[in-house]
Structure 1
Amino acid sequence: MSSRGFGIDESRIWSDLMGLAEITDPARPYTRRSFTPLFQAGRDWLRGRFAEAGLAVRLDPAANLFGRLAGTDPTLPTILLGSHTDSVPSGGRFDGPAGVIAALEVVRTLQDDGRRLRHPVEVVDCLAEEPSDYGLSCVGSRAMAGLLTSEMLDYKGPGGERLGDAIDRVGGDTTRLAEAKRSDVAAFLELHIEQGVVLERSRTDIGIVTGIVGIVRLEIVFEGEAAHAGTMPMAMRRDAGVAAARLVTFVSERARALADAGRGYVVATTGVVELAPNAINVVPQSARIVVDARAENGAVLDAFVAEIEAASLRIADETNTVRERCAVLSRATPAACDPALRALLAEGAAARGLTSLSLPSGAGHDAAFLSRIAPAAMVFVPCREGRSHAPDEWAEPGAIAAGTVAMLEAVLRFDARPPKD
């Protein structure tokens, strides 16, 4: 199948990305937090782009925004494309929006060429993919997978507002949340900047994601005894800070050992360390750390978390402290990308003269939840120096266009496949 006539409009993609980026807090570019007036303004802008492309626009009960292009066969399930438009504080212009605008460009290109697919195609802006002020990420895609629970809806945000009330405030209807679960999706494709350096350093056009890591966030609290920093002998101390430091070191060294031993992609970060009373001349009485552990293999991740839990008990004993708490704050299981969709992406890229390689995703994405309800795959495009979640996040126009071309080619190939018996 030759598709050389299908031309992506690179300038149109870029214009839309820069236009959406202008909808930001000028004091903190590029910030468009979910559930805020700026997020709503971005959504209003996107609705206009969907409508201009001739798409039927709607919000589902979980406040996911869709633009739908009908297919020629009403009996066929939907090809779903997209990502998210919310950001982290002082984030970038590409993390999320590049995937939404690329998806929109796929359907605009089909429209420009007068080509109608057999399958309907929907472009989705998933609600609140980034960690929200309500303590939850991937809110919209969880709902589409049927995994947004009533307990989650009761999570509280700023001022005590419930997450469920916030969803309703931005256009959802949580009394009908069950209707947000999708059973009509044939495939989901998501384009995203890599947020790493593999593609840039290898000078590869696109990455085809093998799988999305599982993520476990673990909170550990050590209790010791406060004492004067000058008068308490070292041998008699019950220093909770030392216990925390030893566990931080263990987490880092063990993650590296697992990766070096060929156990797949494994990383771990202790991004929260809190000491009390947090005074320069007082032995810490308590210490709280939060560990973010990630692995591509679920069994490896579970074993690693068990090792951290065991190490925390051992370290508490060695430092004469007490491990007061060890709790899993959140857990997301690894998600493998669909081999058939990955093959279509590789074939489509090669047909357009694009180079590709396979690589895992060390970050979480909406595709991880949508893979629970349909075959899912991701296209990565290079970003400068791997920078992301920062104002200087950058991807070249040609890189995003290349990823969009690969996604379009995969959609065409998927639509042309003979029906399964």
Structure 2
Amino acid sequence: MNYMKSFRHFAIAAGFAAATLASAGTAAAQETLTIYDLESLTGPGQTVGVAQANAVKLAVEHINEAGGLKVGDTTYTVELDTHDDRSQATAGVTAVQKMISYGKPVLMVGSLSSAVTGAYLPIVREREDFISIVMGAALFFTEEDKAIYHPRVAVAQYTESTVTFIKGQEGIKRVGVLTDNKHGGFVQQTPRLKELFGEAGMEVVGEEEFSFGATQFGPQLTAILRGNPDVINIRGYGSDVARAIKQARDLGYTGLIVSSSGIVAKDVIEAQADAAMTNARDLFVPLAGDLIEGGRNAEKAKAFADAYKAKFGEESGATSLSAYGGFFILARAIEKAGTVDDIPAIRKVLDDITVAEVSEIIEPMIPQEGGRAFREHQSYFALVVREWRDGRFVPVGFVD
């Protein structure tokens, strides 16, 4: 396939053929800029992790085919140095330590797993030579996490939106909660979730947990069902959630199930959960298909979806749009800062960069004060409510 031609079509469709990525002039030097990518390519997180890594590859390909990064008088071809954290905190920490050991400034993207990100965070938080653009990991970050920028929904948004959605459903009084105990963000938010349910007049009648990558949920679901819940809130990654939903139905539960997992068709198919998805809803940052069908940034979303499928032969994943947009946020910040190794200068640009300055952002990012992409290193998004119909997920509403 001619990817240069493909990118031209993509850029025109999405409207972001930015001058900053124009081909370098004959007088400009051409060098290589290495950016590290920490991904969950194997282990329980690989379904989402591979799709996230693919979106990073696509962003790099589009940048290079458009001429590279123009930084001052130098144009850079971007090269990825990808590390597999194997969905394990220890492997992620080892990878980050290896990057630091070279003694050079580190520009890193990726970080799907909350457990992995939470494990390496203490190592890099205060470093002046490290930037991590966290594209997954539903943890909540602040400006105290100097090295971290999170152009991805914070788990606190899921907590509040989940309670708001469930509160709006008729006849809901009793809630069961099932949580991935390896998902640092959801675990961190559990007390707040229960507090909000209580404030909304609902009782948590069962609270259970499972481990990331689990295949059996029977004991936990049985315990929850003893409380006769009107709704079960399952919090974890899509593949686990799909298996849990199927097993809940196998145990005879027919009530509402609500998740915030970014579950995709592949998860449902692999769990053989098609029939089990009736009366299940997922609140999540919109996927490309949600935006196309829901009429939000539809043209950009379709261009991205088509380019992704043409290159990788399958649909994009739960964090693919965040990965693509997040990489371009870093790219624009590097260009605007005019440096590839002055980390404080790049951070200063990231602190103030606006949504409008990064037209490659496809998700419905909510501009913060001054139109900024980040508030204290955290981005915010409109969420979509999705349900399973005729073998696919369809958007049935948005929560701004």
Pairwise TM-score range, normalised by the shorter structure: under 0.3
Structure 2-normalised TM-score? Answer: 0.28
Q: Which has the larger radius of gyration?
A: 1
Between Structure 1 and Structure 2, the one with more helix by share is: 2
